[in-house]
Amino acid sequence: MKLIICEKPDQASKIKMALVGENDIEVMAARGHLVELSFGNEEKGDRWTYPNIMPPDELRIAPIDSDCQRILDNMATRFMDADVIISATDLDREGSAIFYEILLYVSAKLGRDFSDRLKRMEVSSLTTKEIQQSWKKLKDFDWGRSMAGYTRNIQDMQWGINLTRALTLAAQGFDPGQSVLSGGRVQTAILKIIYDRDKLIADFVPDEYHQIKVICDTDAGQFEAIYDGPRIDSKERADEIVADITGADTVVDVKHEDKSNPPPAPFNGTDLQVEGNKVTGISAKEIADRSNGVAQKLYTKGIISYPGTDSQKHPADWEDKDFDILYDMLDKVLSGFARSRKRPVEGGKEDPAHPAIRPVSKVSEDSLDAKEAKLYNLICRRCAAGFMEDSVDAITNFTMDINGHPFKAIGKVLKVEGWREVYPYGMQDDKSLPDVNDGDDAHVAKVKREKKTTKPKPHYNTITIITEADKKKLGTKNTRPAIIDKLVKRGYVKAASSGKKKVMTVTPLGRKVIDVLTEFAPMSTNTSMTIMFENNMDDIEQSENAPSEFESRNTEMLEALSEIMTAMKTSHADIGARLTDIDRDEYIKCPTCGKAMVERKAKKTKTRFVGCTGYPECDTSFFLNPGEQLRKGLKCKCGLPLASGVLNDFNRGDLEYVRCLANCSQSPLICAKCGNVVRPFKSRKGGSFVRCCDTINNFEMRL
């Protein structure tokens, strides 16, 4: 029996329908990831500790929930019966990792090695034709891609948990009510990029300069020209130029040229998110979501090819007839357009697993929901544009020397519409100039002068940060929008309207997180570290000995994490103080381990105490009596702070006292009779009292 494992039920249904008539096959579907990774030395509900870093083979792999458990149990039964086990999950690292995790779990559960039964089914679209072709040409199992994807899961899990615990526990040591402060391999790097842009804008010092424009009269009509010399930085220089050119006569040098603009390349995954958001208004997250995104739904319905591709190229093995089929389909969808290329324009980016995104079947847009229809139409238009001729702009350049000062005017008019007929998005309005001939006279009829200031680069928005993350190889097409969304939900980033766009700025909390990580664990915010990780995953995928490369690269990356966690553990108290805005010179230093101590309240008894932030490794604590307050800035000779309170004496009324928090031998609170150090006790009625030498509240304060 041949067992085919798919990533989702919709894919399984498509494959099952396409292979009707094939003998002795069974198609089973996952629900995306079925298992989750956790530390083998921890159980759910255990108190958080860090660092906790484990090699991959010591991690626990367990079903996410009972439904996943049921699916895995069924798969395990069928694994035993199968002669060939075929991975038909999405053909990328995450898809391959989903199958690999199933393989690891089932193999461990059954105590069996299934590696000699594995094959790979490679499809880029869920059409009947492509599924059947792939079935006839099953490939060897993609160990490299699977282990590279599994590596991402391992590293993201261990980096995320350890950074989150380090930040959260450090902050909660000073403020027990502090909510979770998350960190992550990619999340922190993207937050640092937004932080750096904010800082660049905040630190930007604008320069003043002057812009001069002229309105010129000619026999053919008026036009506006702008000063084209060195930047005018002073009012005095601007005054000189204005005086020189006011009312002047000059001659216009005219040049005409045609500029050809080739069609855009077909979409890859990132391009689709960026352009799809600009044109349709659908958010990048809605487009990219792997489980229920708009593009994913179009793919699983067999309408477009795989949307997670990096490629801007059509299938490498396509012949002219294949492009004719694509053109005919597009021609029906878009009701006719002028084809001028036998083979459409392509871009430079490649993906060894998938071609660029394209429609693979014609459907009525009425059969799709509104967002699906918009995105499908955009993909069709983008592909159709590639078959069409270049658009051509007629460019006109006027240049003038007005009494020794250069001025220019540029006109642009669309001359040949070409591919813009079907893909008009992002077009600029025409700017025409009068029909002036080379050498014609012109007269300066008006001078306009404006004081301006230089501007910093703009704040990032969702689309520009996705583009920047793509350039720096941070995250994947599917994860970037979700990570940005998480930064907003965590309160690290605020998305605020600025004109027609929403800009992203780092919140005070986000700045604190980046400030402490930059100071105490700079490797965690360094994008070069994340790029190194991506390169390591490339090496695993491309290696001829994937298991060996998997082990060495994971060891390297976990050693880097260990170095970061060691630095954060050493600076645990300083990090907590910075995150909670506590002056590091004022916090209480634990006499046992040297870490910070903070005031807390016992969960069960509600008793107040000062405890070490190094708990449970250090359990040093000092209890506070009812009403006692720590005296800020006042310390006992032993170095611990003093605590003050009031004793309620029946005969003498309220009696104030001051004592050492630890009631050490140098505490100022002593027995008035024997001179020994005394400490207050909590009375049954809720007050406090001092007892020594068979007397109550007979104490004095020593200097």
- Residue 43 tokens read as 């159980």
CA 598 to chain centre: 34
Of 527, 546, 572, which residue sits at a domain end?
A: 572
Between 397 and 604, name the one with better pLDDT: 397
Residue 594: the pLDDT is 77
The answer to whether residue 595 scores a pLDDT higher than 90 is no
Helix or strand or coil: residue 631?
strand
Kindly give, in sequence order, each residue whose CB lies less than 8 Å from that of residue 236, ignoring residues fewer than 6 positions away. none
Which DSSP state fits 18? H
Q: Can you tell me the distance from the alpha carbon of 163 to that of 560, in angstroms, rounded to the nearest whole number? A: 13
Residue 523: CATH number of its domain: 1.10.460.10
Side chain identity at 255, as an amino acid letter? K
| Total structural domains within the chain | 5
pLDDT 10s digits, 145-161: 999 999 999 999 999 99
Residue 420: CATH number of its domain: 2.70.20.10
> Do 81 and 163 fall into the same domain?
no
> Do 289 and 311 fall into the same domain?
yes
Quote the domain boundaries for residue 564: 155-203+462-572
- Cα distances from 367 to residues 44, 250, 507, in angstroms, run 46, 64, 43
- Residue 540 tokens read as 């695993």
Residue 580 lies in a domain: no
Q: How would DSSP label each residue in 198-243? A: HHHHHH----EEEEEEEEEEETTEEEEEEE-SS-B--HHHHHHHHH
> Do 137 and 165 fall into the same domain?
no
Confidence of residue 509 (pLDDT cuts 50, 70, 90): very high
Q: Can you tell me the distance from the alpha carbon of 281 to that of 271, in angstroms, rounded to the nearest whole number? A: 14
Residue 345: the pLDDT is 96
Residue 296: CATH number of its domain: 1.10.290.10
Q: Are 677 and 669 in contact (CB under 8 A)?
A: yes
> Do 230 and 294 fall into the same domain?
no
> Do 355 and 438 fall into the same domain?
no
Closest-CA residue to 91 (of 351, 421, 267): 351
Closest-CA residue to 238 (of 208, 216, 217, 215): 208
Q: Are 641 and 630 in contact (CB under 8 A)?
A: yes
pLDDT 10s digits, 335-363: 878 899 999 999 999 998 899 999 999 99
Q: Can you tell me the distance from the alpha carbon of 512 to that of 577, in angstroms, rounded to the nearest whole number? A: 11
Q: Can you tell me the distance from the alpha carbon of 271 to that of 288, in angstroms, rounded to the nearest whole number? A: 11
Residue 579 lies in a domain: no
Confidence of residue 420 (pLDDT cuts 50, 70, 90): very high
pLDDT 10s digits, 221-245: 999 999 999 999 999 999 999 999 9
Residue 275 lies in a domain: yes
Of 88, 109, 141, which residue sits at a domain end?
A: 141
Of 453, 484, 500, which residue sits at a domain end?
A: 453
In residues, how long is the chain?
703
Q: Can you tell me the distance from the alpha carbon of 456 to that of 204, in angstroms, rounded to the nearest whole number? A: 6
Kindly give, in sequence order, each residue whose CB lies less than 8 Å from that of residue 377, ignoring residues fewer than 6 positions away. 333, 365
Burial (CB < 10 A; 0-12, 13-18, 19+), residue 91, is: buried
Residue 494 lies in a domain: yes
Residue 186: the pLDDT is 92
> Do 162 and 247 fall into the same domain?
no
Residue 178: the pLDDT is 84
Residue 146 lies in a domain: no
> Do 508 and 556 fall into the same domain?
yes
CA 4 to chain centre: 33
Sign of CA dihedral 568, 570, 572, 573: negative
Q: Give me the mean pLDDT over the 495-514 stretch.
A: 86
> Do 695 and 643 fall into the same domain?
yes
Residue 582 lies in a domain: no
Residue 91: CATH number of its domain: 3.40.50.140
Residue 577 lies in a domain: no
> Do 252 and 300 fall into the same domain?
no
> Do 318 and 359 fall into the same domain?
yes
Residue 150 lies in a domain: no
> Do 357 and 378 fall into the same domain?
yes
How many other C-beta atoms lie within 10 A of the C-beta of residue 606?
A: 7
The answer to whether residue 689 scores a pLDDT higher than 80 is yes
> Do 276 and 348 fall into the same domain?
yes
Summary mean pLDDT of the chain: 92
